[in-house]
Structure 1
Amino acid sequence: MTTFASALAVCTALLTSAAAFAQDKLPNVTILATGGTIAGTGATSTTTVGYTAAKVGVERLIEAVPELKKVANVKGEQVFQIASENMTNEHWLTLAKRVNTLLAQPDVDGIVITHGTDTIEETAYFLNLTVKSTKPVVIVGAMRPSTAISADGPINLYNAVTLAGSKDAVGKGVLVSLNDQINAGRDVTKANTSTADTFRTPELGFLGYMQDNKPHFYRQVIRKHTAETEFDISKLDSLPQVDIVYGYANNNRIALDAFVKAGAKGIIHAGVGDGSLSNAMKPGLVEARKAGVLIVRSSRVGNGIVARNGEANDDELDFVVSDTLNPQKARILLMLALTKTTDSKAIQKLFYTY
């Protein structure tokens, strides 16, 4: 019995040691939860619209996917608990600072951020410009609440943690991962109000796919991002006011004038076509620029390059063009640019860099 007990103790010790070694070999991934549909609940299992977002805490999200233990050593933090339409500049600054603090720690290999889908693309681009690390940062959400039949949150979270812990994701910039697809934070946009395949990178395409519990990359982002950027938000508590004015038939300058009067430092004009300016809107934009407000011509179309000196003489008007950034992302870059400079030529260079 003594010999058997000794042998059993040795076997137990070896198994415990092996299990500990296996855990030590796994990447360390921190999940920062901010709310959204992935943390939402509905009245019934078939409620996929009209549900309440941001109800489930990060620990319950992790507990719902026990398979996470097989791909990473996971920790969770509840940073916010909001629906993402309520995301503000102050939320972004808080989140970016926390991400930078965590990624500076040697025992953190990657970050996953759970987020509402409505403004995922904006948060992703903000972090893409302000995170100061090459370690993976993956933003994930869901199109169905956690209580729904075939809720997509658990598999999306599993894939996001796998991706954040992968060496293949290092240096790729901030990533958005849902529906087994990997998109770049700079280029991705929400393309459908309700379907699970809503996140797309029109024309430029996905970076890759999640399959067989690992990422498969097929392209990379050439524009500078994360550790390569010049934006330092470590001492910022606020960002300059930048607003978006939408172009449409029979439009007017009422909203534009109101934004300028309210103290806007920059205006994104989401013009029709190639960022065209209507006869009703152009005088207001010219007056705003002469008053010191930075004007960026973007497009409501959502695809393509806004050509400098195309639909307006940008050199003469001292305007900036957004390149391929949609209006909501152009707003983010202009806000950060205005923390560095108010020179329009320098800001135009930033739009061609990031």
Structure 2
Amino acid sequence: MRNTLHAKYLAAAFVFAATALLSGIAFAADETVSAAAPATAPVGLPRVAVLATGGTIAGQADARAANAYNAGAVGAQQLVQAVPGIEKLARLSTEQVASIGSQDMNDKVWFALARRIQTIFDRNEADAVVITHGTDTLEETAFFLDNVLRTDKPVVLVGSMRPSTATSADGPSNLYEAVEVAASPAARGRGVMVVLNDTIQSARAATKTNTTSVQTFATPNGGPVGYVDPASVRFLTPAFQPDNHKYVLPSGEQLPRVEIVYAHANMDGVQIDNAIANKAKGIVLAGVGDGNASKSALAALQRAAKQGIVVVRASRVGSGFVNRNVEVNDDTSGFVVSLDLNPQKARVLTQLLIANGITSPAQVQKAFAATW
């Protein structure tokens, strides 16, 4: 069955590639388009809302190079229609929230997604949500949503490493399995999840690890929470009830300014001093090793902390934990450590904490350790 379905996905990718190239489908970045569930979907199936934001999964080929494409050029309904058998998994509705490459993901789209998803669940419009998204910042969006959504209903982010017009597009298979996971009764109470390449990852732990491989998402400090194929969904860990560590979105469309400073050999404090001058509310160090940096950089970070700026030590390494008071005296310096969170996720959490009035090193550290 699996081989047959994957053959169908490949055939669908060929057909859809031709259709997309001929029609020149495109959407404006702020356009919102919705469509009702397909008439063929049985009434007894769960209701899954597919919210599209663009990305490679909605990419369209470009003649500038053999592997070139433009992200976010294909609409939500077309993505769903390109997946054979998906209508047998759930009653689907589609909405176009944005049409951007995820390198352009921003607070405005994050807020729109969070508010729309919360409304969908509060009004009982759907039983689960699937978000199509570019892979570059997918992990940040997933982590952000996991920290603000108040629900035990499944939310699944999905993307692809190859555009919809590629001869071996992975989008149709990934989207099928994302809907399959979202529609599974076992998916409730697990927070936001990431589904690509037959693997289910948690929002906190998933990270992109390869520039081009379809097997790019991994959980360096643990492992996936489950696996999925066209015939089954298998979770390896028990479901958990959503905790109370959820944060309120600030008014407006923007989170507080938090900078990531990347550590390197022969580092001085210029990047950090610039962040202070630019009125950053927080600074995340992507440190060497266990979140360390040169003496000059650490001195600059201490100056920032003394001015009330939240300073978080993370690591550029890619795996492992950053622990307190190992090589750096965090207690004396007023620093926070990111534990398992990589710099980009540490930034997201720091933004949410500052927006919610949580700024003292002790309070911030407690929030970083909330799930451990």
Q: TM-score, normalised by structure 2?
A: 0.85
* C-alpha separation in 2, matches of 1:159 and 1:221: 19
Alignment of 1:262-281 (within 5 A): 262-281=278-297
Alignment of 1:155-166 (within 5 A): 155-166=173-184
Q: Which runs of no fewer than 5 residues in structure 2 stay unpaired? A: 1-38
Deviations 1:120-152 (A, max 9, x none): 010010011011111000000010011111100
Which of 151, 155, 166 is matched with 1:148 structurally?
166
* C-alpha separation in 2, matches of 1:125 and 1:30: 19
Residue type at the aligned position of 2:164: S
Residue type at the aligned position of 1:53: A
* C-alpha separation in 1, matches of 2:221 and 2:245: 25
* C-alpha separation in 2, matches of 1:221 and 1:168: 8
Residue type at the aligned position of 2:52: A
Are positions 1:239 and 2:258 aligned together? no
Superposed displacement of residue 227, structure 1: 5.8
Which of 323, 327, 343 is matched with 2:360 structurally?
343
Q: Is the 8 A contact 1:277 1:311 kept in 2?
A: no
Are positions 1:51 and 2:66 aligned together? no
SS in 1 for 2:213: coil
Q: Is the 8 A contact 1:113 1:139 kept in 2?
A: yes
Which of 193, 197, 204 is matched with 1:186 structurally?
204
* C-alpha separation in 1, matches of 2:50 and 2:243: 21
Alignment of 1:108-187 (within 5 A): 108-187=126-205
Q: Is the 8 A contact 1:33 1:81 kept in 2?
A: yes
Q: Is the 8 A contact 1:131 1:227 kept in 2?
A: no
Superposed displacement of residue 64, structure 1: 0.8
SS in 1 for 2:355: coil
Superposed displacement of residue 219, structure 1: 2.0
Deviations 1:204-241 (A, max 9, x none): 0111110243310112587xx85632312274532111
SS in 1 for 2:57: helix
* Number of corresponding residues: 332
Are positions 1:40 and 2:59 aligned together? yes
* C-alpha separation in 2, matches of 1:51 and 1:291: 45
Are positions 1:92 and 2:110 aligned together? yes
Aligned Cα RMSD in Å?
A: 2.0
Identity %: 46
Alignment of 1:62-73 (within 5 A): 62-73=80-91
Alignment of 1:187-206 (within 5 A): 187-206=205-224
Superposed displacement of residue 106, structure 1: 2.1
Deviations 1:213-272 (A, max 9, x none): 3310112587xx856323122745321111100111111222211111111000001110
Residue type at the aligned position of 2:187: A
Are positions 1:330 and 2:343 aligned together? no
Aligned counterpart, 2:96: 78
SS in 1 for 2:70: coil
Aligned counterpart, 1:30: 49
Q: Is the 8 A contact 1:35 1:114 kept in 2?
A: yes
Q: 1:118 to 1:282 in 2, by over 3 A?
A: same
SS in 2 for 1:117: coil
Superposed displacement of residue 21, structure 1: 11
Superposed displacement of residue 23, structure 1: 1.5
Residue type at the aligned position of 1:243: E
* C-alpha separation in 2, matches of 1:214 and 1:111: 19
Residue type at the aligned position of 2:45: L
Q: Which runs of no fewer than 5 residues in structure 1 stay unpaired? A: 1-19
* C-alpha separation in 1, matches of 2:93 and 2:151: 19
Q: TM-score, normalised by structure 1?
A: 0.89
